[in-house]
Amino acid sequence: MSQRTLAIIKPDAVRRKLIGEIITAITQAGFHIVGLKLVHMTKEQAESFYDVHRGRFFFEELTRFMSSGPVVVMVLQKEQAVEDFRSLIGATDPTEAAAGTIRHRFGTSKGENAIHGSDSLESAEREIAFFFSSIELVDHAP
């Protein structure tokens, strides 16, 4: 069944001018972009987005990093989009990510790992609603 997931090209990858290459990898893997925009989150917005990680030792570093510059936020549609996109991005730590995955190709550390992907359908729904209103999402036939 067709699903939607949320992707974020993180500030490290935007700074390193990797937006184009990353979007190419995503679309060539069969994902349809149904929403897309550039956002520079405040620290408070990053904290709210990553609320599930509040209290973890990396929360401060993570939210400072995610609010350090613009990010590209996208809604992607595909059969099994959530699981397939997690496969395409690879493990959290780029050194552990499989060859060819986006994090393996473009990530530089566990924190600065180039890209975010929702980890479940429930997270995807919450994360899409966090960034996009319905008028900002286009229809794509399943």
Q: According to the binding rule CB under 6 A, does residue 126 interact with ligand DAT?
A: no
| Partner that binds at residue 130, options Mg ion, ligand DAT, none, CB closer than 5 to 8 Å by kind | none
Query: CB of 123: closest distance to Mg ion in angstroms?
Result: 7
Identify which of residues 110 and 126 has a Cβ nearer to ligand DAT in the complex.
Answer: 110
113, 124, 128, 131: which one contacts ligand DAT (CB under 6 A)?
Answer: 113
Task: For tokens 């510059």, name the residue.
Answer: 69
| Helices (H), ranges, the chain | 11-15, 19-28, 43-49, 59-66, 81-89, 102-106, 121-131
Distance, first Cα to last Cα, the chain: 8
* Three-state secondary structure call for residue 54: coil
Binding residues among 41-60 for Mg ion as defined by CB under 5 A: none
Identify which of residues 62 and 137 has a Cβ nearer to Mg ion in the complex.
Answer: 62
Tally the residues of the chain. 142
119, 136, 137, 140: which one contacts Mg ion (CB under 5 A)?
Answer: 119
Query: CB of 126: closest distance to ligand DAT in angstroms?
Result: 13
Task: For tokens 């405040």, name the residue.
Answer: 42
Any catalytic annotation for residue 116?
yes
Task: For tokens 């209290």, name the residue.
Answer: 55
Candidates 110, 97, 88, 69; CA nearest to 28 is 88
Where on the chain is the footprint of ligand DAT (CB under 6 A)? 58, 61-62, 92, 110-111, 113, 116, 119
Task: Give catalytic residues, as residue numbers.
Answer: 116
Where on the chain is the footprint of Mg ion (CB under 5 A)? 119
